[in-house]
Amino acid sequence: MSGQINAFEMAQKQFDTVAKQLQLDAGVSEVLRWPMREYAFRIPVRMDDGSLKVFQGFRVQHNDARGPNKGGIRFHPAETIDTVRALATWMTWKCAVADIPLGGGKGGVVVDPAALSVREKEELCRGWVRAMWKNIGPRNDVPAPDVGTTPQMMGWMMDEYSRLVGEYTPGVFTGKPVGGGGSLGRTEATGFGVVYSIREAMKRINMDPKKAVASIQGFGNVAQYASIGFIEILGGTVACVSCYDRHDKKAYTYSKKGGIDPHFLKSIADQYGTIDKAKAQDAGYQVGDADAWLSAEADVLIPAALEGQINGDSIQKISKGVKLMAEAANGPTTPEADEVIKKNKIFDIPDFLCNSGGVTCSYFEQVQNDMNFYWHKDEVLEKLDQKMTSAFHSVVDMAEERKVYTRDAAYMVAIDRVVKAMELRGWLSAGA
Ligand code: GLU
């Protein structure tokens, strides 16, 4: 999925760098650099044309020392056990850095969801739950949406689980539709969380948000709300967004003089984030090639697509004016690109900090499910802002105190909390 770089090797490499700096015990490192449990299973689905098709499914539970495993399910044709392992590992660090009482997990299915009918999608979602239901649950492992999955899919999955266990169990999946056990604000949460962390970073580096120009890769849920928030919360401008066109099977960059209008682009995009090129052109948008977003005149780059996009080659293309990199995607930056970011003194908000708003709101959703009492949207977003702001400053304080790169500081905060939970639970002791 990420070209030459294996995402799981990348996740392990990032961890190893920090484990060395922390002089972490070799045995403890060995526990943390691998997932605790992994499931691979086959999901048969009766297709609309009468044929039976079998899909490959995965769930990886990386570490649950701090609480139930938590993390999305991704439907993507290039999913592999290693991408899921990497994403599960990053979820452990994400929940720890956000300081929510959850562990890390991730699931996947090798499939292009856009190629399925609604009925086939529902069958696949229910099949995923039938394969996994004994190993997930509100106190065990709680999946959510990610690339290629939607709130409606979470609704079907929660329903299938509830049927199998014989009782309504909304807290087993998060990111459900509002009115079907979902939380207000969950749709906006990841993108707005990215914007809250950008706001705090701008304070640290003395950047005026109103004069700031962002360039964004992707136009899925996270990119859509990151662009809306960048304009409406910060008062900045979004020069362009790049988006994968599933009809042409390639990406384009959409830009407009004076900045793009994310509400308009959202209104002409399908549920997978493919923008209608002809309608955009009619409305005066320029359509450039896939990489044009990288070299656009911007102060802030927001990779909000897939892993491995900011790598040794692509980092060479970025405009000289970039001062801030806000990693809205999971694992967008390779270790090779990290060296260039450090050298050029670009302030980097690492992925599992920057995009932790989604899972933080998922945690709020679970809390509301447990209480069976639902909060107003303002209350959800206010709590989200508080959590994001405090996570951001704990990482940047650590970076300043130890004079380390922000990604390493985020790992330090997270590893410290996970190791402490393992110690407190007696997982590392010789026996009392
Ligand atoms: N898929 C999102 C992520 O990567 C959200 C996970 C969740 O809400 O559990 O953070």
Instruction: Provide the domain limits for residue 103.
Output: 38-183
Distance separating alpha carbons of residues 175 and 162, to the nearest angstrom: 16
Query: Which atom in ligand 1 lies closest to the alpha carbon of residue 145?
Result: 1
Task: Tell me which amino acid residue 174 is.
Answer: T
Pair 133, 169: CB distance under 8 Å: no
Residue closest via CA to ligand 1's atom 8 equals 359
Q: For residue 399, how far is the Cα from the chain centroid? A: 22
In a domain, 147, yes or no: yes
Q: Which of 183, 198, 224 is the last residue of a domain?
A: 183
In a domain, 420, yes or no: no
Catalytic, 106? Answer yes
* Pocket around ligand 1 at a 6 A CB cut-off: 70-72, 94, 144, 146, 174-175, 330, 355, 358-359, 362
- Mean pLDDT across the chain: 96
Among 147, 170, 141, 173, residue whose Cα is nearest residue 2: 147
Q: How far is the CA of 35 from the centre of ligand 1 (A)?
A: 17
115 confidence band (pLDDT: 50, 70, 90): very high
Q: Any idea of the CA torsion for 19, 107, 421, 389, to the nearest 10 degrees?
A: 80
> What are the residues whose beta carbons fall under 8 Å from the beta carbon of 336, sequence distance 6 or more?
311, 312, 315
Domain shared by 150 and 174, yes or no: yes
**Is pLDDT at 16 greater than 70 in this prediction?**
yes
Q: How far is the CA of 316 from the centre of ligand 1 (A)?
A: 30
Q: Are strands 69-76 and 300-303 parallel, antiparallel or unpaired?
A: unpaired
For residue 77, give both structure tokens: 């044709």
Q: Could you tell which of 146, 174, 330 is best to mutate to test the pocket of ligand 1, judged by most ligand atoms within 8 Å of the CB?
A: 146
- Between 271 and 372, name the one with better pLDDT: 372
**pLDDT given for residue 388 in this prediction:** 98
Tokens 């270790």, located at residue: 335
Q: What is the CATH number of the domain that holds 217?
A: 3.40.50.720
Query: Which atom in ligand 1 lies closest to the alpha carbon of residue 102?
Result: 9
Query: Which atom in ligand 1 lies closest to the alpha carbon of residue 142?
Result: 9
Q: How far is the CA of 293 from the centre of ligand 1 (A)?
A: 25
Tens-place pLDDT, residues 239-274? 999 999 999 999 999 999 999 999 999 999 998 889
Domain shared by 175 and 62, yes or no: yes
In a domain, 69, yes or no: yes
Q: How far is the CA of 144 from the centre of ligand 1 (A)?
A: 6
Tens-place pLDDT, residues 194-249? 999 999 999 999 999 999 999 999 999 999 999 999 999 999 999 999 999 999 99
Domain shared by 312 and 335, yes or no: yes
Q: Which of 183, 211, 234 is the last residue of a domain?
A: 183
Domain shared by 49 and 170, yes or no: yes
Domain shared by 343 and 206, yes or no: yes
Tokens 């690109």, located at residue: 337
Query: Which atom in ligand 1 lies closest to the alpha carbon of residue 174?
Result: 8
Q: How far is the CA of 330 from the centre of ligand 1 (A)?
A: 10
* Global confidence as pTM: 0.97
Q: How far is the CA of 156 from the centre of ligand 1 (A)?
A: 18
**Is pLDDT at 186 greater than 80 in this prediction?**
yes
**pLDDT given for residue 430 in this prediction:** 75
Query: Which atom in ligand 1 lies closest to the alpha carbon of residue 356?
Result: 10
Domain shared by 153 and 42, yes or no: yes
List the catalytic residue out of 70, 94, 106, 176: 106
**pLDDT given for residue 378 in this prediction:** 98
Domain count, the chain: 2
**pLDDT given for residue 273 in this prediction:** 84
Pair 370, 155: CB distance under 8 Å: no
In a domain, 221, yes or no: yes
Domain shared by 162 and 71, yes or no: yes
